[in-house]
Structure 1
Amino acid sequence: MPRTTTRRLAGTAVAAAITATGLLGTGTLGTGTASAETVAPLDRCWGISPNIVDQPYSTARLFVSPDGPGRVTAAVRDISSFWGGGYESVGRLDWHNLRTGKRGTAVDAAPIRLYVNGPTFRLNTGTGPVRVTLSAVNRNALWSIPTTSCSGTLQVR
Protein backbone atom coordinates (compact mmCIF):
# COMPACT_ATOMS: atom_id res chain seq x y z
CA MET A 1 0.00 0.00 0.00
CA PRO A 2 1.41 3.44 -0.85
CA ARG A 3 2.64 5.54 2.05
CA THR A 4 0.09 8.40 1.46
CA THR A 5 -2.82 5.92 1.54
CA THR A 6 -1.52 4.44 4.80
CA ARG A 7 -1.25 7.92 6.32
CA ARG A 8 -4.78 8.81 5.20
CA LEU A 9 -6.16 5.59 6.69
CA ALA A 10 -4.30 6.20 9.95
CA GLY A 11 -5.59 9.79 10.08
CA THR A 12 -9.15 8.61 9.43
CA ALA A 13 -8.83 5.99 12.19
CA VAL A 14 -7.58 8.60 14.67
CA ALA A 15 -10.41 11.01 13.77
CA ALA A 16 -12.98 8.20 14.14
CA ALA A 17 -11.56 7.24 17.54
CA ILE A 18 -11.65 10.84 18.76
CA THR A 19 -15.24 11.26 17.54
CA ALA A 20 -16.27 7.96 19.14
CA THR A 21 -14.87 9.02 22.50
CA GLY A 22 -16.87 12.25 22.36
CA LEU A 23 -13.91 14.62 22.47
CA LEU A 24 -14.83 16.65 19.39
CA GLY A 25 -17.27 19.47 20.02
CA THR A 26 -16.86 19.49 23.81
CA GLY A 27 -14.20 22.14 24.00
CA THR A 28 -11.58 19.51 24.84
CA LEU A 29 -10.29 19.03 21.32
CA GLY A 30 -11.34 20.18 17.88
CA THR A 31 -13.17 23.30 16.78
CA GLY A 32 -16.50 22.78 18.56
CA THR A 33 -19.97 23.02 17.10
CA ALA A 34 -21.27 25.36 14.42
CA SER A 35 -23.78 27.00 16.79
CA ALA A 36 -22.92 29.70 19.29
CA GLU A 37 -22.74 27.08 22.05
CA THR A 38 -20.72 28.04 25.11
CA VAL A 39 -19.61 26.18 28.20
CA ALA A 40 -20.80 27.55 31.53
CA PRO A 41 -18.69 26.39 34.49
CA LEU A 42 -20.40 25.09 37.63
CA ASP A 43 -19.18 23.94 41.01
CA ARG A 44 -18.69 20.17 40.77
CA CYS A 45 -21.80 17.96 41.25
CA TRP A 46 -21.11 14.46 42.60
CA GLY A 47 -23.14 11.30 42.93
CA ILE A 48 -22.70 7.57 42.63
CA SER A 49 -24.31 5.69 39.81
CA PRO A 50 -27.34 3.64 40.87
CA ASN A 51 -25.47 0.75 39.22
CA ILE A 52 -22.83 1.18 42.00
CA VAL A 53 -19.94 -0.41 40.04
CA ASP A 54 -19.95 2.25 37.34
CA GLN A 55 -18.64 5.71 36.53
CA PRO A 56 -19.70 8.23 39.18
CA TYR A 57 -22.06 11.05 38.28
CA SER A 58 -19.73 14.03 38.09
CA THR A 59 -20.23 17.22 36.14
CA ALA A 60 -18.90 20.75 36.45
CA ARG A 61 -20.35 22.50 33.40
CA LEU A 62 -23.40 23.11 31.26
CA PHE A 63 -23.36 23.42 27.49
CA VAL A 64 -25.46 26.49 26.65
CA SER A 65 -26.97 27.48 23.28
CA PRO A 66 -29.06 30.60 22.59
CA ASP A 67 -32.70 29.99 21.56
CA GLY A 68 -33.59 33.64 20.94
CA PRO A 69 -33.52 36.80 23.05
CA GLY A 70 -33.61 35.84 26.73
CA ARG A 71 -33.92 32.11 26.01
CA VAL A 72 -31.30 29.36 26.18
CA THR A 73 -30.93 25.60 26.08
CA ALA A 74 -28.63 24.22 28.79
CA ALA A 75 -27.45 20.60 28.55
CA VAL A 76 -25.52 18.18 30.75
CA ARG A 77 -23.21 16.20 28.47
CA ASP A 78 -20.30 14.80 30.42
CA ILE A 79 -21.88 11.95 32.37
CA SER A 80 -22.13 8.36 31.15
CA SER A 81 -22.50 4.75 32.24
CA PHE A 82 -20.48 1.68 31.32
CA TRP A 83 -23.57 -0.51 31.75
CA GLY A 84 -25.45 -1.41 28.56
CA GLY A 85 -28.81 -0.58 30.10
CA GLY A 86 -27.41 2.45 31.88
CA TYR A 87 -29.75 4.34 34.18
CA GLU A 88 -32.09 7.33 34.12
CA SER A 89 -31.05 10.76 35.36
CA VAL A 90 -33.80 13.20 36.34
CA GLY A 91 -32.17 16.60 36.39
CA ARG A 92 -33.51 19.75 38.00
CA LEU A 93 -32.22 23.19 37.10
CA ASP A 94 -33.35 26.07 39.33
CA TRP A 95 -32.59 29.51 37.89
CA HIS A 96 -32.72 33.12 39.08
CA ASN A 97 -32.22 36.11 36.78
CA LEU A 98 -30.08 38.45 38.87
CA ARG A 99 -31.07 41.52 36.82
CA THR A 100 -34.87 41.09 36.79
CA GLY A 101 -35.48 38.86 39.81
CA LYS A 102 -37.40 36.36 37.66
CA ARG A 103 -37.09 32.72 38.84
CA GLY A 104 -37.98 29.31 37.53
CA THR A 105 -37.31 25.58 37.54
CA ALA A 106 -36.81 23.19 34.64
CA VAL A 107 -36.85 19.38 34.93
CA ASP A 108 -35.78 16.79 32.36
CA ALA A 109 -35.23 13.03 32.46
CA ALA A 110 -32.62 11.43 30.21
CA PRO A 111 -31.19 7.94 29.77
CA ILE A 112 -27.52 7.76 30.76
CA ARG A 113 -25.44 5.35 28.73
CA LEU A 114 -21.95 5.32 27.30
CA TYR A 115 -21.52 8.56 25.30
CA VAL A 116 -25.19 9.57 25.63
CA ASN A 117 -26.02 13.12 26.72
CA GLY A 118 -27.74 13.87 30.00
CA PRO A 119 -30.72 16.12 30.74
CA THR A 120 -31.43 19.17 28.56
CA PHE A 121 -33.24 22.22 29.87
CA ARG A 122 -35.00 24.92 27.83
CA LEU A 123 -35.07 28.19 29.77
CA ASN A 124 -36.92 31.45 29.19
CA THR A 125 -34.99 33.54 31.72
CA GLY A 126 -34.83 36.95 30.14
CA THR A 127 -31.51 38.65 29.44
CA GLY A 128 -28.74 39.24 31.93
CA PRO A 129 -26.79 37.18 34.45
CA VAL A 130 -28.72 34.07 35.50
CA ARG A 131 -27.68 32.05 38.56
CA VAL A 132 -28.39 28.32 38.08
CA THR A 133 -28.35 25.38 40.49
CA LEU A 134 -28.24 21.86 39.06
CA SER A 135 -29.17 18.68 40.92
CA ALA A 136 -30.25 15.22 39.82
CA VAL A 137 -31.70 11.95 41.02
CA ASN A 138 -30.26 8.93 39.24
CA ARG A 139 -32.26 5.73 39.21
CA ASN A 140 -32.31 2.20 37.89
CA ALA A 141 -34.94 -0.53 38.38
CA LEU A 142 -33.88 -1.10 42.02
CA TRP A 143 -33.31 2.32 43.63
CA SER A 144 -32.77 6.05 43.26
CA ILE A 145 -29.72 7.99 44.41
CA PRO A 146 -29.62 11.81 44.59
CA THR A 147 -26.55 13.82 43.61
CA THR A 148 -25.09 16.87 45.28
CA SER A 149 -26.08 20.18 43.73
CA CYS A 150 -23.81 22.61 41.94
CA SER A 151 -24.18 26.25 40.90
CA GLY A 152 -22.91 28.70 38.36
CA THR A 153 -23.90 31.82 36.43
CA LEU A 154 -25.00 32.01 32.78
CA GLN A 155 -24.85 35.18 30.72
CA VAL A 156 -28.07 35.23 28.70
CA ARG A 157 -28.43 37.64 25.78
Structure 2
Amino acid sequence: MKRLLITLLLPLAACAPARDIPMPPSDNRAEGSTPALTETYWKLVELRGQPVKTARKDAYMVLKTNGDVQGNGGCNGMGGTYTHTAPNRLAFGPMIGTMMACAEGMDTEQGLHAVLEQTDSYVIGDDGKLQLLKARMAPLAKFEAVYLP
Protein backbone atom coordinates (compact mmCIF):
# COMPACT_ATOMS: atom_id res chain seq x y z
CA MET A 1 0.00 0.00 0.00
CA LYS A 2 2.79 2.40 0.92
CA ARG A 3 4.60 1.56 -2.29
CA LEU A 4 1.47 2.34 -4.33
CA LEU A 5 0.95 5.64 -2.50
CA ILE A 6 4.55 6.70 -3.10
CA THR A 7 4.28 5.70 -6.75
CA LEU A 8 1.18 7.88 -7.16
CA LEU A 9 2.44 10.90 -5.18
CA LEU A 10 5.94 11.10 -6.63
CA PRO A 11 4.81 12.33 -10.09
CA LEU A 12 2.58 14.93 -8.41
CA ALA A 13 5.47 16.24 -6.33
CA ALA A 14 7.57 16.59 -9.47
CA CYS A 15 4.87 18.80 -11.01
CA ALA A 16 4.70 21.18 -8.03
CA PRO A 17 6.09 24.66 -8.75
CA ALA A 18 9.60 25.29 -7.47
CA ARG A 19 10.10 27.89 -4.76
CA ASP A 20 11.91 31.06 -5.75
CA ILE A 21 15.32 30.84 -4.15
CA PRO A 22 17.30 34.08 -4.38
CA MET A 23 20.65 33.57 -6.04
CA PRO A 24 23.65 35.79 -5.44
CA PRO A 25 24.93 37.80 -8.38
CA SER A 26 27.29 35.72 -10.44
CA ASP A 27 30.17 36.37 -12.76
CA ASN A 28 28.56 35.19 -15.97
CA ARG A 29 31.40 35.99 -18.32
CA ALA A 30 33.02 33.20 -20.23
CA GLU A 31 36.18 31.86 -18.67
CA GLY A 32 39.15 33.92 -19.78
CA SER A 33 37.07 36.82 -21.10
CA THR A 34 37.56 40.39 -19.95
CA PRO A 35 34.72 42.21 -18.17
CA ALA A 36 33.18 45.15 -20.02
CA LEU A 37 34.01 48.67 -18.86
CA THR A 38 30.35 49.67 -18.86
CA GLU A 39 27.39 48.17 -17.01
CA THR A 40 29.73 46.33 -14.62
CA TYR A 41 29.76 46.71 -10.83
CA TRP A 42 33.36 47.74 -10.16
CA LYS A 43 34.29 47.32 -6.47
CA LEU A 44 37.27 49.37 -5.28
CA VAL A 45 39.98 47.06 -3.92
CA GLU A 46 43.10 49.24 -4.02
CA LEU A 47 43.65 52.99 -3.75
CA ARG A 48 47.06 54.49 -4.52
CA GLY A 49 48.76 51.15 -3.96
CA GLN A 50 47.06 50.41 -0.63
CA PRO A 51 44.34 47.79 -0.10
CA VAL A 52 40.95 49.31 0.67
CA LYS A 53 39.67 48.61 4.16
CA THR A 54 36.22 47.09 4.31
CA ALA A 55 33.66 49.67 5.44
CA ARG A 56 29.94 49.43 6.08
CA LYS A 57 29.32 50.00 2.38
CA ASP A 58 31.36 48.94 -0.63
CA ALA A 59 33.17 51.68 -2.50
CA TYR A 60 32.14 50.96 -6.08
CA MET A 61 31.11 52.48 -9.38
CA VAL A 62 29.06 51.51 -12.40
CA LEU A 63 29.79 53.26 -15.69
CA LYS A 64 26.56 53.36 -17.68
CA THR A 65 26.57 53.19 -21.47
CA ASN A 66 24.96 56.66 -21.65
CA GLY A 67 28.00 58.36 -20.07
CA ASP A 68 26.71 58.48 -16.49
CA VAL A 69 28.60 57.03 -13.56
CA GLN A 70 26.98 56.06 -10.28
CA GLY A 71 28.27 54.40 -7.17
CA ASN A 72 29.31 54.83 -3.58
CA GLY A 73 32.53 56.12 -2.10
CA GLY A 74 32.30 53.90 0.96
CA CYS A 75 30.05 56.31 2.86
CA ASN A 76 28.01 58.44 0.48
CA GLY A 77 26.32 57.79 -2.82
CA MET A 78 27.92 59.52 -5.80
CA GLY A 79 27.10 60.26 -9.38
CA GLY A 80 28.42 62.17 -12.34
CA THR A 81 29.53 61.73 -15.91
CA TYR A 82 32.49 60.30 -17.75
CA THR A 83 33.88 60.40 -21.27
CA HIS A 84 35.44 57.41 -22.99
CA THR A 85 37.41 58.42 -26.06
CA ALA A 86 39.94 56.50 -28.10
CA PRO A 87 41.05 53.15 -26.83
CA ASN A 88 41.62 53.24 -23.08
CA ARG A 89 41.10 57.01 -22.63
CA LEU A 90 38.79 57.81 -19.73
CA ALA A 91 37.98 61.05 -17.91
CA PHE A 92 35.45 61.79 -15.20
CA GLY A 93 33.44 64.99 -14.85
CA PRO A 94 32.65 66.58 -11.49
CA MET A 95 31.05 64.14 -9.08
CA ILE A 96 28.07 64.91 -6.87
CA GLY A 97 26.96 63.00 -3.84
CA THR A 98 25.21 62.90 -0.53
CA MET A 99 27.01 64.54 2.36
CA MET A 100 26.69 62.25 5.38
CA ALA A 101 29.53 61.94 7.85
CA CYS A 102 30.53 58.35 8.52
CA ALA A 103 32.75 56.82 11.17
CA GLU A 104 34.39 54.63 8.52
CA GLY A 105 34.90 55.05 4.83
CA MET A 106 35.50 58.82 4.67
CA ASP A 107 39.22 58.51 3.84
CA THR A 108 38.46 56.01 1.09
CA GLU A 109 35.72 58.24 -0.28
CA GLN A 110 37.90 61.36 -0.38
CA GLY A 111 40.72 59.39 -1.98
CA LEU A 112 38.41 57.92 -4.60
CA HIS A 113 37.03 61.34 -5.56
CA ALA A 114 40.59 62.68 -5.93
CA VAL A 115 41.56 59.71 -8.12
CA LEU A 116 38.52 60.17 -10.37
CA GLU A 117 39.52 63.81 -10.95
CA GLN A 118 43.05 62.76 -11.97
CA THR A 119 42.21 59.76 -14.16
CA ASP A 120 42.98 60.09 -17.86
CA SER A 121 43.15 56.44 -18.94
CA TYR A 122 42.42 52.89 -17.87
CA VAL A 123 43.28 49.29 -18.52
CA ILE A 124 41.44 46.06 -17.73
CA GLY A 125 44.15 43.51 -17.00
CA ASP A 126 44.26 39.81 -17.73
CA ASP A 127 43.11 39.29 -14.14
CA GLY A 128 39.89 41.17 -14.98
CA LYS A 129 40.72 44.13 -12.71
CA LEU A 130 40.06 47.69 -13.84
CA GLN A 131 43.00 50.02 -13.23
CA LEU A 132 42.51 53.79 -13.34
CA LEU A 133 45.65 55.54 -14.55
CA LYS A 134 47.18 58.97 -15.01
CA ALA A 135 49.85 59.23 -17.69
CA ARG A 136 52.52 56.62 -17.04
CA MET A 137 52.24 56.63 -13.26
CA ALA A 138 51.49 53.61 -11.10
CA PRO A 139 47.77 52.74 -11.01
CA LEU A 140 45.74 55.29 -9.05
CA ALA A 141 43.07 52.73 -8.18
CA LYS A 142 42.14 49.12 -8.87
CA PHE A 143 38.62 47.69 -9.04
CA GLU A 144 37.36 44.15 -9.39
CA ALA A 145 34.23 43.13 -11.27
CA VAL A 146 31.79 41.80 -8.69
CA TYR A 147 29.05 40.84 -11.11
CA LEU A 148 28.45 41.39 -14.76
CA PRO A 149 25.34 42.11 -16.84
Larger proportion of strand: 1
Larger proportion of helix: 2
The TM-score by the shorter chain falls in which range? 0.3 to 0.5
Q: Which has the higher contact order (CA 8 A, sep 6+)?
A: 2
Structure 1 length as normaliser, TM-score?
0.35
Structure 2 length as normaliser, TM-score?
0.36
